[in-house]
Structure 1
Amino acid sequence: MSEGGGAGAGEGAEARRMAEVEVAGWRDWGPYLAERAWGTVREDYSADGDAWRSFPHDHARSRTYRWNEDGMAGFCDLDQRWCLGLALWNGVDPILKERMFGLSGPEGNHGEDVKEYWWYLDATPSHSWNTWRYHYPQAAFPYERLVEENAARSKLEDEFELVDTGVFDDGRYWIVTVDYAKASAHDLVMRVGVENAGPEAATIDVLPSLWLRNTWSWDVDPGVVPSLRAEDGDVVVTLPDEERLRLRVDPASDVRPDELLFCDNVSDSARLWGEAPLSPYPKDGIGDHVVSGLDTVNPEQVGTRSAVRFRLDVPAGETRTVVLRLSRSEEEDTGADSLSVLAERRREADEFYAGVIGRDVPADEAVVARQAFAGLLWSKQFFHFDVRRWLEGDPTAPPPPPGRGAIRNGDWPHLVSHDVILMPDPWEYPWFAAWDLAFHCVTMAHIDPGFAKQQLVLLLREWYMHPNGQLPAYEWDFSDVNPPIEAWAALRVYEIDGSRDQAFLGRVFHKLLMNFTWWTNNKDHGDNNLFEGGFMGLDNIAPVDRSTLPPAVGVLEQADATAWMATYALHLLEMALVLTDRDPVYEDVATKFFEHFLSIAASANDAGLWDDADAFYYDVLHLADGRDVPMRVRSLVGLVPVTASLVLEGTRAPALTEFMQRARVFLERNPQTRQAIHAGDGVARDETLLALVPPERLRRVLGGVFDESRMLSPHGIRSISAWHRENPFTVEVAGTTATVDYEPGESTSGLFGGNSNWRGPVWFPLNALIIESLRRYDVSLDRSHTIEYPAGSGEQHTLGEIADDLSARLTSLFLSVDGAPRPSDARYPLLSEDQHWRDNIAFYEYYHGDSGQGLGAAHQTGWTAIVAHLILTRSR
């Protein structure tokens, strides 16, 4: 199946819907609205590049966004011409609750951090069904206290969270649930339920909101400006292409609306800058009207922002529901009852996921997988960024400050994005990241392989990939370097999709050839097959900032960068061999990557990265004065080499005459490279294992890793060995002493990485890659090849059994065993034990290396969602 379509493994109506998803337009409308657009690089027009201060949260309600919109529980179309979301007011907050609140990077004692509680409970890949849940305090939201308390805390202290303020005590909060269901591709039902969890009756304003993204303020001649207006109690949308939409209150609502409110999606210039108003009814007009009773909404009921206001009085423990319906005018009368549509789409979602997850997966793990998929689907966002236009400025705005291109992204003027992309996190990381996206796609392939393939192809297109072959990292610095795992992701997506779509594989392969060449030309300083690369996604796991080491100090040859390139060569080799089935010409390029892998593996093992005494791989700093300093930090950096493995099927050999002949010649001329080739003696004896870490060396490496007092935690492999708790590593570089020790939780260092902490917490992506590689070793090795696991236990296990246990340890982060709190939320009994909270799973960025408590971004479902992939692929 081509990458444009792709039916998942699910069953029933949703699976059939996915087979026609492109033709029928089921993806035209989806949860593509970001949850934060303020504080992003795109909205930063400052002279110093301080994005957080350039567009703070305080501006968000009043200032028009240039590139995309944000909101709560939002849907929009593929071009984000219109947005549908939710606003709330508890009667005491100083502002309308239109978006999630959190601290900017400089405000948090561990970096940016959202201070709200909401969850993505369900979603289908066609977005025929989506469910979102939010807990909103009935007391005044403690905006100032959250800022002040966190500002007063050091990096040695925990973050001060919303639950710490006491606003949820006595159950005084609203449980807000938003369900979306499509009667057809362009006929959307929105149901908002508000439950009063408190001990007494309370009142809340619920304001489903429909607005238009401002696309008309940035050009001298904007053309036809879209509009909203009231008509017979509905909100009617007229778009520039004359398409019309209608938002109406459904008869299924418990109450009728109190009023329809309209303002303009233009900045409140008087409030923000003390300038003449652009409109008497600016962007914050609805909020000011609801909260303060001001005359800031248009009495003519026209504009580009609107809200349907319901004022609900809800007794304790009861729920009130409002239902709305948005549809294209010509498709308005589908004849389908809204409540029936909601019930039917929920039933179809159950049917679909029963097929995806399977009936042999334990019920509690199935819940984890389904919510992980939901978080992934809700993390799709419309991402709009024209870098050249951003650098040069808009014709209707003042020119950007001089030297803007020198601050960031000046070398990427070709990059133009106007796409729906899977984001790492809709609030803390509301922008694409190349290697994050690769992990997203592997999990997505289980439910929507067509979309997964489209995403992998997208970043390889000429309007993303640099002309020199580099892939853009992320908007904060497109020139930064992420691990090159796109080939791995493409292969896994290809396999999950049934190993049929060689056209997709070939399309990816051709672009990755350019990227591989960029790596070899730019990150192999000594042309010795030992690679640099910078932080490589592992942020501050090293004692020095690996991205900014001056050449005058020396060159850092990295164990992980070298291993990533070995892995890259193996994956391109595997791709080339697969593609020989349709075109023998690929056999020739397969030889190139076979030889390249063997050369890299030989250098990694024989040129200083391997420490035989410690049985581990380390970075080596080559100082300008001629000294070599091994960075003896036992961390994931030294474990990435374990992921560089590939099983070659012996049955393919007879058809690969030229490849086999060239391989023999190369090995005869380079006998030192043979150590990376291992004849199969396990389950499949006709297979050959290519591995950077030889099996006998692997046993020694893993012996230390699988020690529970070192790298093996109850919930997966730690990022750094707990051995460093008592044995910190110290090195002097350029007159400065740098130290690495074991930090199981949030980072106490200001070194590059901020709150992206790799110095101890458990992190899912590399755990998943290690698990996968252990399975490959297991297939090739004899059953007698066992390892003591855990170290010191006296129990011997195969690598396959160990892979299963590691997978189970990671999954256990989200499970309650014998009534105990799930480890990821155990710090707060409210989240892990209360009946209103405990079934709502948060997928954090990383997890405490000792306790398993979730840390970092609270909605990093983008890559932590790979737990669903682990659940579906674990041996049973």
Structure 2
Amino acid sequence: MSNPERERVAAFGRPEDGLIDASPWYRWGPYLSERAWGTVREDYSGGGTAWEAFPHEHARSRAYRWSEDGLGGICDAEQRLCFALGLWNGQDPILKERIFGLTGNEGNHGEDAKEYWWYLDAVPSHAWLRWRYHYPQRAFPYEHLVSENRRRSRDEPEFELLDTGVFDGDRYWIVEADYAKADPDDLRIRVRLTNPGPDAATLHVLPTVWFRNTWSWEPGRSKPRLATAGDDAIAVEHDGLGPMVLQAAPGPDGAMPRQVYCENETNAQRLFGSPSSTPYPKDGINDHVVHGAATVNPGREGTKAAFWYEVTVQPGQTAELSLRLAPQADPEAFGPAFDQVLEQRRAEADTFYAELTPEGTSAEDAMIMRQGFAGMIWGKQFYNYDVARWLNGDPAQPPPPPGRQDGRNARWRHLDASDIMSMPDPWEYPWFAAWDSAFHAVALAHLDPAFAKYQLVLLCREWFQHPNGAIPAYEWAFEDLNPPVQAWAAMQVYQIDGRRDTAFLMRVFSKLMLNFTWWVNREDADGRNLFQGGFLGLDNIGPIDRSHLPPGFRLEQSDATAWMAFYCLNLLEMARELARHDPALDDLVVKFLEHFALISEAMRTNDLWDEQDGFYYDMLRGADGSSTPLRVRSMVGVIPLFATKALRQEEFARVRKLSKGFAEMPEHHVLSGAGGEELIAVGVAAHGRARRILPHLFDEESFLSPYGLRALSRWHAEHPFSVELPGWTATVSYEPAESTTGMFGGNSNWRGPLWMPLNYLVLRTLEDYHANLGDSVKMEYPTGSGRQCTAGEIAEDLRQRMLSLYRRGPDGRRPAFGWVDRLQHDPNWRDNLLFYEYFHADNGAGLGAMHQTGWTGLLAELVARPSAMSGARR
């Protein structure tokens, strides 16, 4: 059977100069965020208070500078033209045009979306997309959500939209939007409106099209135009897009919708008490629909426009609306051919995912995989941020506050981004994070290897990577550090794609060598091969804020040092692969093995290892020479396990021959490989130390939970760790759910919950052990059980535990949905999956960012990829 979507993906070229040049099928996609307010880019405050500077209350009235947002929307790859849904239930004080949530300073556990929507389906070319949203028929409880969460303490659960009772009696709307492309520029849009409630209800639906405002920031910029082209069409006039038309079919009652127009420009009168540039500002359609105000252009033209449907639906019934965005109108647009395109693209998506699904996969696991991948595709977002312009201000706008020049991201003036990036999610984190992106690339490689490579190359391009070699961590603070996992991810993507694209590997390798050198020069303060790095993405993992140490102290970090050893070995692997085609790179194999030896030796001899506990800890060192080990059994001490590599005898001998003795070869030992050959194993955690760490990791009273591995050992529930330093005391205890400390702000929380990325790396490390050693080495698993298992069997058990978060158990409940009965049992809710940021380590309930597919989408990768026990060698 042919697979048209696979053919579209295969047509993706080498997008060195931008995504749109790669393939016309990628020109339009789900690149429109569910939220743009409250981001760093839109913050022009004096104190860097992004959430307060641009709150949700401003979003409907204030033109965005850098990006746009909308409900279930799409846009072109340069976000010139956007399309999304507007809704009004007749009760709310405002149109529902974007997702609502609490900022980090409003929520008792940090920022969080307070709505329910799902990314149910998608294919990489965006030829088929499906989005779903549940909208109350009663007034949306904006103030109740804010006030109740503000009242609650960190010890109490968050107050969610379902907790308000607004969905009681099934009085809500199920809104589904399906997008199907007839060709790269011809989009068919179907909106389904289902009323599951007991009474007939009316919903105002406003499919809305608008231009990102690119004309208000400097004089002389041309302004695009939307204008009526008859009762059923809105004409799009934009210099860069060429002519297009949004065409609408009659509503269920046979009547054509009204057309309403305004400008995507700030309502300065409402927000600032100063004259607005137009009588029809950004919130003009909102004010007209909700309040009957004369704020839409009677001439039916502007830069924001909508068709206004008023749809009444009987109990249990569904109504449909049809629209088409294409280069020109078609009087036959909504005949049988319209439905045929939608059904054809849905069927092609079925074929595409059927081929990705391994034989024997259960229907439930196939659903987890498909929705996980769909969320990752919907997480491809337009990212626009010119830091120099942001720091200096726009010519046609007031200048930024003076402190901006020395504030956030001031040392990243070179960063000038306007691209499509894989983001953790389109609401809570509508910006990239470096180590998140690496994990995303590994999962996306199964769907779309070219796009996955593009993401890894992008952060190494000259407009992202700092001239000094640093890779930006995330928008809130580019200078922070994420774990250096890009080399590992590049090797994974290279292997998933068949080990053939050496040009990609060489391109990434050359840039990562610069980044590695930056780490060595910047984060090894004393030249002792013991690295710092601060929080390194692990937020509240320890007793102190690792990015803001007490004066006079420095922290030698087991995780930072182990990450650098891991980095060494992955660059070594890349060099070894490339040396097959260019022997001159043999020298770099030696270079990285020697540097690995230095780091490995430093970890062995500088007190990071605790022989009594059999575990690695961070070491806090004072200016007076004092040393204080931070004996916290956390993932910090597990990361050294990742820095392990097996070399064949002849490879090791060849490297030793090339070496001139600048460093001793790393501590190593000989093992019998899976095929009977002898292997040389090198690792930070030498064989004996790994044997000491693993019993902690596999102990169900320590790290091993029913759903994976805890971030912090449960041993600390009975044995809290405290450290006392002059003037203060810090304590860590096991917290399986939300942290009761806001040390790193917001909902940052690694104090016990289960997080997907490190679980995934442990699993892959065990699979590598199995691939190399086969059944020759066994370990007790779980600790204390007396059961001896191979590394592959342990990896498979971990895989099953992680997937069980979303599988229905014998009681019919999915652990990830916790105690929320409607999510567990209601047919309209229970099979729509929310990919949470992290999980309660004891009962599996989903926590943190509710719609963060991101690295939790690795679950889809676990389904798509053969397990360690399938016999496939990696």
Q: Provide the TM-score with structure 1 as the length reference.
A: 0.96
Amino acid at match of 1:94: P
Letter in 1 for 2:740: T
Q: Is the 8 A contact 1:645 1:776 kept in 2?
A: no
Aligned AA (2:862): L
In structure 2, the partner of 1:18 is 9
- Map of 1:113 onto structure 2: 112
Alpha-carbon distance in 2 for matches of 1:440, 1:316: 41
CA distance in 1, matches of 2:180, 2:338: 8
Aligned CA distance change for structure 1 residues 753 and 574 (closer, same or farther; 3 Å): farther
CA distance in 2, matches of 1:298, 1:33: 26
Residue ranges of structure 1 left out of the alignment (5+ in a row): 1-9
- 1:785 counterpart residue number: 777
Task: Show the counterpart of 2:606.
Answer: 607
- The secondary structure found in structure 2 opposite 1:385 is strand
Distance 2:24 2:270 in 1: 41
Corresponding residue number in structure 1 for 2:824 = 832
Deviation at 1:680, TM superposition (A): 3.8
Q: What's 1:509 paired with?
A: 509
Q: How far, CA to CA, are the matches of 1:204 and 1:250 in structure 2?
A: 17
Q: 1: CA distance between counterparts of 2:196 and 2:750?
A: 38
- Aligned residue runs from structure 1 range 660-671, under 5 A: 660-663=656-659, 666=661
Q: Which residue of 1 aligns with 2:271?
A: 272
CA deviation vs aligned residue, 1:199-234 (integer Å, no higher than 9, x gap): 111111111111111000011111343434343420
TM-score of the superposed pair, with normalisation by structure 2: 0.96
**Identity within the alignment, %:** 53
Question: Which residue of 2 is the match for residue 858 of structure 1?
Answer: 850
Cα gap change, 1:730 to 1:186, in 2 (>3 Å): same
CA displacement at 1:280 relative to structure 2: 1.0
Q: Which amino acid aligns with 1:49?
A: G
Moved more, 19-28 or 49-58: 19-28
> In the TM superposition, what is the alpha-carbon distance from 1:649 to its structure 2 partner?
4.6
Deviation at 1:478, TM superposition (A): 0.5
Residues 724 and 733 of structure 1: CA distance in aligned 2, closer, same or farther (over 3 Å):
same
CA contact (8 A) 1:248 1:324 kept: yes
Deviation, 1:674, is 4.1
The 8 Å contact of residues 601 and 676 in structure 1, kept in 2 or not, is answered as no
1:648–1:278 Cα change, 3 Å: same
Which residues in structure 2 correspond to 1:186-335 (within 5 Å)? Answer: 186-241=185-240, 243-250=242-249, 255-329=254-328
Preserved CA contact (<8 Å) 2:137 2:173: yes
| Letter of the 1:88 counterpart | L
Match in the other structure for 2:155: 156
| Counterpart selection for 1:806 from 791, 798, 804 | 798
2:804 aligned counterpart, secondary structure: helix
**C-alpha distance in 2, partners of 1:301/1:88?**
20
Measured after TM superposition, the shift of residue 371 of structure 1 is: 0.4
- Cα distance in 2 for partners of 1:483, 1:11 equals 41
Shift of 1:826: 2.3
| Equivalent residue in structure 1 for 2:754, among 734, 756, 762 | 762
Does the alignment pair 1:710 with 2:710? no
Per-residue deviation, 1:652 = 5.7
**Long gaps (5+) in structure 2:** 14-21
Q: In the alignment, residue 753 of structure 2 is paired with which amino acid?
A: P
CA positional deviation for 1:660 = 4.1
Q: Secondary structure of 2:311's partner?
A: strand
Match of 1:491 in 2: 491
Matched to 2:764, the amino acid is E
What is the match of residue 6 of structure 1? Answer: none
CA separation in 2, counterparts of 1:383 and 1:504? 23
Instruction: Verify the 8 A CA contact 2:587 2:658 in the aligned structure 1.
Output: no
Deviation at residue 241 of structure 1 after TM alignment: 3.7
Alignment partner, residue 127 of structure 2: 128
Moved more, 471-480 or 780-789: 780-789
- Per the TM alignment, residue 686 of structure 1 is displaced from its structure 2 partner at its CA by 4.2
Name the structure 2 match of 1:456: 456
The alpha-carbon distance between structure 1 residues 211 and 677, as it changes in their structure 2 partners (threshold 3 A), is: farther
Q: Equivalences for 1:364-403 in 2 at 5 Å?
A: 364-403=364-403
CA distance in 2 between counterparts of 1:252 and 1:311 reads 8
Work out the CA distance in 2 between the residues paired with 1:689 and 1:132.
48
Find the aligned partners of 2:418 and 2:251 in 1 and give their Cα distance: 37
Native 8 Å contact 1:11 1:355 kept in 2: no
Q: Distance in 1 between matches of 2:2 and 2:483?
A: 35
Q: Is the 8 A contact 1:24 1:185 kept in 2?
A: no
Tell me, in whole angstroms, the C-alpha distance in 2 between the residues paired with 1:81 and 1:260: 21
Query: Which range moves more in the overlay, 612-621 or 236-245?
Result: 236-245
1:593-672 correspondence runs (5 A): 593-649=592-648, 657=654, 659-663=655-659, 666=661
Q: Which residue of 1 aligns with 2:576?
A: 577
Contact conserved, 2:666 with 2:682, CA < 8 A, in 1? no
The 2-side partners of 1:333 and 1:468 are apart by 58
SS of 1:421's equivalent in the other structure is strand
Give the secondary-structure state (helix, strand or coil) at the position aligned to 1:697: helix
Find the counterpart in structure 1 of residue 546 from structure 2: 546
Aligned residue in 1 for 2:732: 740
Task: Give 1:687 deviation, angstroms.
Answer: 3.6
- Distance (Å, rounded) in 2 between the aligned partners of 1:301 and 1:544: 59
Native 8 Å contact 1:689 1:780 kept in 2: no
Please report how far the alpha carbon of residue 819 of structure 1 lies from its aligned counterpart in structure 2 after TM superposition: 4.2
Question: Is the contact between residue 677 and residue 691 of structure 1 (CA under 8 Å) also seen in structure 2?
Answer: no
Superposed CA deviations along residues 593-630 of structure 1, whole A, max 9, x for unmatched, are: 01111221121122211111101000011111221111
| Deviations, residues 169-192 of structure 1 (Å, cap 9, x unaligned) | 111111111100000000001111
Q: How many residues align?
A: 859
Q: CA deviation at 1:43?
A: 0.4
Q: Does the alignment pair 1:447 with 2:439? A: no
Greater CA deviation, 854-863 or 20-29?
A: 20-29
Secondary structure class of the residue paired with 1:266: coil
SS of 1:871 mapped into structure 2? helix
* Deviation per residue, 1:304-339 (Å, 9 max, x gap): 001111111100000000010001129998998110
With over 3 angstroms needed to count, the CA separation of the structure-2 counterparts of 1:241 and 1:437, relative to structure 1, is closer
Measured after TM superposition, the shift of residue 679 of structure 1 is 3.8
Name the SS of the counterpart of 1:17 in structure 2: helix
Contact 1:602–1:676 (8 Å) recurs in 2: no
Go from structure 1 to structure 2 and tell me whether the alpha carbon gap of 1:784 and 1:649 turns closer, same or farther (over 3 Å shift). closer
Q: Give the secondary-structure state (helix, strand or coil) at the position aligned to 1:119.
A: strand
- Give the match's secondary structure for 1:40: coil
| Contact in 1 for aligned 2:12/2:450 (Cα 8 Å) | no
Displacement of 1:816 in angstroms is: 0.2
After superposing the two structures, state which structure 1 stretch, 16-25 or 29-38, moved more: 16-25
SS in 2 for 1:376: helix
**1:468–1:521 CA distance, 2 compared to 1 (3 A):** same
1:42-80: CA deviations, max 9, x gaps?
000011110001000000000000000001101000110
Over residues 245-290 of structure 1, what are the superposed CA-to-partner deviations in whole Å (9 max), with x where a residue is unaligned?
Answer: 1011147967443301111100111111111122111101111111
Q: Secondary structure at the match of 2:769?
A: helix
Aligned counterparts of 1:138 and 1:872: Cα–Cα separation in 2: 39
